[in-house]
Amino acid sequence: MAMDTRVAAARVLADVFDGRSLNRVLPPMLDKVSPRDRGLLQQLCYGTLRRAPRLEALLQQLLDKPLRDKDSDVHALLLCGLYQLEETRIPDHAAVSATVGATRGLKKNWAKGMTNAVLRRFLREAESLVAELSPAARDCHPDWLYQALHQGWPEHAASMVAVNNEQPPMVLRVNLSRITRADFLTKLAAADIEARAGELSPAAVYLTQPMDVAALPGFAEGEVSVQDEGAQMAAIVVDPQPGDRILDACAAPGGKTGHLLEMQPDLADIIAMDVDPQRLLRVQENLERLALGAELLEGDGAQPPGQLANASFDRILIDAPCSATGVIRRHPDVKSLRLAEDVAGFSDLQLSILQGLWPLLRPGGTLVYATCSVIPGENDGTIGRFLSQQQEASCTSLPMAWGEATQHGRQLLPTSAGPDGLYYCVLRKN
C-alpha cells in the first residue's frame, strides 16, 4: 500500500532537518508513494525547504511550547502544512484536512488537535504573524546567510535572495562534437519542446519547462546532457588543448569531465578523481552514455593517492567542496543544513585540497579553482591564503566578460532564468 504523501514529506523533511541531504533521503521515499503523487511529494519537500526559515519563524509564534525531539516528524509536518497554506493552490480546507490526517500515518494521533489548531490559527492571523518576522525570515533565509549575502554583494543581494527562492531552470549542454546547438534546437522544436540558447556557454540550452531527460531527443545517444550554464563555464575556463594531461580532481557526477572530452578529443590523458566511490560510479555511467572514456580514480585531493605520486599534469580542475550558496535554488536544503561556521571549515578543506594537488601541476601549467559558493571569504579568501603560502603560484586574468571581477577571479551570481552562482580562479605555476 502506498504511503500517504504528507507522511512521506514529513519523514523526508525531518531527516533533512536532522542533517541529512535531500538528495539522499528523497529518492527512496519517491518509490513509497503512489506514482501519481510523486510530483506532489517533490513539491512539498522542495517548497517547504525553500521557505523553511520563514515557516519556522511563523511556527515558533504558533506553538505554545517547543515540540519534543522525538516528535521532529510532527514538527516537519507542521512546516509542510504552513507551506501548503502560504504557497500552493491546494484549497485551505483540503490542505488542513490532509495535514491533520497525516498525524495518524505518523502514529501521532495526539498531534491531531494541535495540528488543526496551529494551521487554523495561521489562517486567521497570517497578516499579523508575518508582520512580526525579521527581514531575513520574511525572505526565507537564515539570518547568517542573509547577512553574508548583503555584506558580500550589497548591490546584488536582493536579487540573489529572490533567485534563491525560485525554481531553477532546466539547462542542457549540447555535445558540440556531435551536433550543433542550432540543429539541436531544431530537434527540440520538432518535438514541441520550447527552448532557447544560453548567452554564456556556446553549448547551453534552456528549456522553458523541466522534463524527464528520457523524453529528450538525443539524450540516450549522448547528444545532450543536463548541466547548468554556470557549471559549463568550468571546462571553458580550463581550455583543454591537444596533447594535454588533465586531472579533474573532484569529478563526480562527471559533467565537467564529459564536457572537457567533448571540447577536446585529442587529450593525451584525463583522470577523473573523486573521494566518493559511489559517486564515481555516476561518472562512469555518464561517460558511457556519452561514449567517452577517462581513467577513474578514487582519491582525496588533500591527500592524493599513491597512483599519482609521480604524476604531472598540464591542467588541473578543482571543483571544490563548498557551502553551495550559489546553487540554493537547486539545493534548498542548504538553508537548513549550513551554518555560519561551516564557511570557515569549507575554506580550510579547500585550502588543503589546493595544497595537496599543487605539486602535481607541471611548471607552466594551470590550475582552475571553482566553487558553487557566492561567499567572498570562501572564494577569494581561500585563494588569498593559498597565494600567501605558495610563492610559485600566480593568478591569471580570465579573458571573459561574464560575471563580476573579484580580487583573484570572477564570480557568477545566480540570476533568474540564468546561470547558477559559481566562482572561478586560474592559478599558474611559475
Query: Which set of grid coordinates corresponds to residue 136?
Result: 531575513
| Sequence-separated contacts (24+) of 399-404 with Cβ below 8 Å | 400/233, 400/237, 402/200, 402/233
Closest to 168 measured CA to CA, from 418, 335, 373: 418
Number of CB atoms found within 10 A of residue 251's CB = 29
Q: Do residues 336 and 385 make contact, with C-beta atoms less than 8 angstroms apart?
A: no
Q: Residue 179: is it exposed, middle or buried by C-beta count within 10 angstroms (0-12/13-18/19+)?
A: middle
The active-site residue out of 80, 140, 250, 372 is 372
- Residue 199, class by beta-carbon neighbours within 10 Å (0-12 exposed, 13-18 middle, 19+ buried)? exposed
Q: Which of 59, 66, 60, 81 is nearest to 13 (CA)?
A: 81
140 assigned to active site: no
DSSP code string of 207-222: ESS---GGGSTTTTTT
Q: Is 274 helix (H, G, I), strand (E, B) or coil?
A: strand
Catalytic residues: 372
